[in-house]
Amino acid sequence: MAIHPPEQRIWWNEALSKKEIVWIIVAFLWGLVMFFTMIAWHFTGEQNLSNEAYRIDPDVFAERTEAMVEKYKVREEGDTGIPVVHPPPGSDVYLIARLWEWWPVLELEKDKQYRLHLSSLDWQHGFSLQPTNINIQVHPGYDMVLTITPSETGEYGIVCNEFCGIGHHQMVGKIHVVDK
């Protein structure tokens, strides 16, 4: 029971005031603007890449990644000796997310297209490529495929943006983009 019940018990039959009608129209028009802005932004904006997703056994994905590393490894980086791979342009490039690392480090050529495959071997992770605006959820058992064309040279950081446990804050990786 309300503190002050309405005078008319059937309030929805009451006439709307002009102010209410104006606010309903404004809210409806704003909703339309936002709806069509989302559609336009899909075609013109700097949003996430369209991607593909396929079911894959994590062991198969790991085998493909290890085969790519064996074939295209150019050096090792860091204290832990993480391999750096430089695959040829146009090839399929594999990147593993696992507690708490991105493996391997990728070295890609500027203005060349690659198919980047992302998958997790254990938990759900988030692939966030900094400082670009690419954010993808990476799930175990799924191969997320992005077609990318790096347009600027430099070192790009990969951050996990889905909490994945106690070492989450240390889960960073790299992509080097070079001019060849």
Q: What is the CATH number of the domain that holds 168?
A: 2.60.40.420
1 occurs within a structural domain: no
Q: Is residue 5 part of a domain?
A: no
The reply to whether 153 falls in a domain is yes
pLDDT score for 2: 63
Do both 143 and 105 map to the same domain? yes
Q: Quick one: how far is CA 47 from the chain centroid? A: 10
Positions of the chain with pLDDT lower than 70, given as ranges: 1-2, 6, 8, 46-50
The pLDDT score that the predictor gives to residue 133 is 76
For residue 146, give the nearest of 83, 88, 95, 74 by alpha carbon: 95
By the 8 A CB rule, do 21 and 108 touch?
no
100 and 40 co-located in one domain: no
Which residues span the domain enclosing 103?
Answer: 51-178
pLDDT at residue 15, as a whole number: 83
Could you give the CA distance from residue 103 to residue 172 in angstroms, rounded to a whole number? Answer: 10
User: How many structural domains are present in the chain?
Assistant: 2
Which amino acid is residue 131, in one-letter code?
P
pTM for the full predicted model: 0.74
The pLDDT value given to residue 134: 84
Do residues 19 and 87 both lie within one domain?
no
4 within some domain:
no
pLDDT score recorded for residue 49: 64
- Note whether 94 and 167 are same-domain residues: yes
Report if residue 106 sits inside a domain: yes
pLDDT at 6 (0 to 100): 65
Q: So what's the pLDDT on residue 175?
A: 95
